Structure 1
């Protein structure tokens, strides 16, 4: 059970990382473009990452948890005792 929870937390951690970091990079690139190319005031990258990151996590965290639980269930259902991963 301890290994199961550790792997679930690892899945959730990487889900958060792969959801937030690409958004921040895209918004930061757009921010830099606005400041240096269009000579407008920028500085909104962190704000938009927070706004859209929260909405993205509301979708990706339940999907990641559900897919992880389905993988664990079907591996348990197969009854494969040779390689015990969880």
Structure 2
């Protein structure tokens, strides 16, 4: 899968964004990672892996994960 590079000033995370950058820029996404049982919060690899990498490692659909991020950023809390 070829991802477009992150866009400066983007209002939502992309699959090419580093996981660490996503969590720092949009802290509302941290509960999404936790909900999906991803160990990304606190993981040393978060600064090296993209959202697409993490989704693949955890067997998740990247588009669905990005949609969950968008909903969290918009204020829709993830369901437990």
Q: TM-score normalized by structure 1?
A: 0.29
More helix by share: 1
Q: TM-score normalized by structure 2?
A: 0.31
Larger Rg: 1
